[in-house]
Amino acid sequence: MSRILVLGGAGAMGSVAVRDLMERTDHRVVVGELRAEEAEAMAGALGPRLSVRSVDVEDGDSLAGAISECDVVLSATFMRHNVRVTRAAIAAGVHVVDLGAYVWDTRDQLELDDEARAAGSRIVPGCGVAPGLTNVLARDGAERFGAVRAIRIYSYITHPMTTSPGIVYTRFDASRGSSLVLRDGVSEERPSFSEEELVEFPPPYGPQLVHLVPHPEPLTLPRYLHVRDVVFKVGYPPDETTRLRSLLELDLDAAEPFGFGGAEIVPRDFVAAFVGRQGLAGLRTANVKRVILEGEREGRAATLTYDLAVEREEESASSAITGTVAAIAADLVANGGGRVGVHPPEGAFDPAAVLCALRLRGFEIRESWS
């Protein structure tokens, strides 16, 4: 039995992971949070193996103190904290899984591999649904080919920015700057929110426009799989895409404050708080993933497609699947899984272990060959 610290454990995704760990493992779980009321309510509902500790991830001493008392850290905080948490864990010689970050932060984590090896730490970045489950499916599929030429990962997410401030920040960050693609074995940077493509998702979702986002799969998959083309694209319902484009065109994602009425206002913070205030009441949300592998199998051209669709009523489908995958990853690491150093899921885990755990939790992944 290990002691697992879940940073941000009272949040939407972190709370899913906490509940899964409490219901399906015998680990001791510590919710590391500044939101004391929410965390204490969880502890009261989930039993004596769950405790609460006040942790400020942005305070080095607070973070180091909490990490020093655990065996595994599950970081469910904002992705901008992932590198900081990774460094603190390596300094303490403990293990980490996190929900993932965009490609540039993931690259910074990968560069800590030598330090992690020296410390004996197992660091598994990107253990949500994407990155995370998408990586695991890519490796699972690649092992069934003689040779893989291309891996294309597509995502369709229906819940709007109005549901939470965090989604506003995430979509802003995914829509600016550059994204990475692997083409003919060469990594290329392309503008985010570009290269639109019409992708046919399974019913009832059908054809949806998707675009580039700065996901790390094109960076990490080629480290473990012999593949020459990797791309990740995401799409939203048309009205959500229009809303997002409008906010970006008005530069309302700006992080620089401006003065108004005697106050300093940061546009992105204001938009996140105002637009994301409505919550999930009355909404049905879906998180849909399609992972396509193309290559040769038994001497013939072949295509393998994985499909996953998670839906929830008045809950976040993204939180449900992301938190669950993170809990599975944390449990695997706590039980000795993973590899010393920094390895994303496709390099850290046996795909069968992750996929079996998901099936036991009622998540269905369909696959088809053509």
Q: In whole numbers, what is the pLDDT of the chain averaged over residues?
A: 95
Q: What is the pLDDT of residues 178-196, one digit of tens each?
A: 999 999 999 999 999 999 9
Residue 187 lies in a domain: yes
What is the pTM (predicted TM-score) of this model?
0.95
CATH code of 32's domain: 3.40.50.720
Residue 90 lies in a domain: yes
Examine the domain organization and report whether 227 and 345 are in the same domain.
Answer: no
| Counted domains in the chain | 2
Examine the domain organization and report whether 236 and 93 are in the same domain.
Answer: no
pLDDT band (50, 70, 90) for residue 199 = very high
Contacts of 267 (CB under 8 A, 6+ apart): 251, 252, 253, 254, 255, 256, 258
Examine the domain organization and report whether 189 and 326 are in the same domain.
Answer: no
Q: What is the pLDDT of residues 7-51, one digit of tens each?
A: 999 898 999 999 999 999 999 999 998 887 777 777 777 778 899
Q: For residue 30, count other CB atoms closer than 10 A to its CB.
A: 26
Examine the domain organization and report whether 93 and 112 are in the same domain.
Answer: yes
Between CA 52 and CA 12 the distance in angstroms is 16
Please classify residue 184 by burial: count the beta carbons closer than 10 Å to its beta carbon, then call 0-12 exposed, 13-18 middle and 19+ buried: exposed
Contacts of 360 (CB under 8 A, 6+ apart): none
Examine the domain organization and report whether 292 and 329 are in the same domain.
Answer: no
Examine the domain organization and report whether 284 and 241 are in the same domain.
Answer: yes
CATH code of 312's domain: 3.30.360.10
The pLDDT of residue 38: 78
Residue 310 lies in a domain: yes
Q: Which position has the token pair 């009205």?
A: 239
Examine the domain organization and report whether 205 and 115 are in the same domain.
Answer: no
Q: Looking at residues 213-234, what average pLDDT do you find?
A: 98
Examine the domain organization and report whether 115 and 167 are in the same domain.
Answer: no
Residue 356 lies in a domain: no
Examine the domain organization and report whether 233 and 280 are in the same domain.
Answer: yes
Examine the domain organization and report whether 191 and 175 are in the same domain.
Answer: yes
Residue 291 lies in a domain: yes
Between CA 260 and CA 358 the distance in angstroms is 50
Q: What CA dihedral angle connects 213, 214, 216 and 221, to 10 degrees?
A: 60
Q: What is the pLDDT of residues 304-360, one digit of tens each?
A: 999 999 999 999 999 999 999 999 999 999 999 999 999 999 999 999 999 999 999
Examine the domain organization and report whether 104 and 119 are in the same domain.
Answer: yes
Examine the domain organization and report whether 77 and 200 are in the same domain.
Answer: no
Residue 266 lies in domain: 133-318+361-369
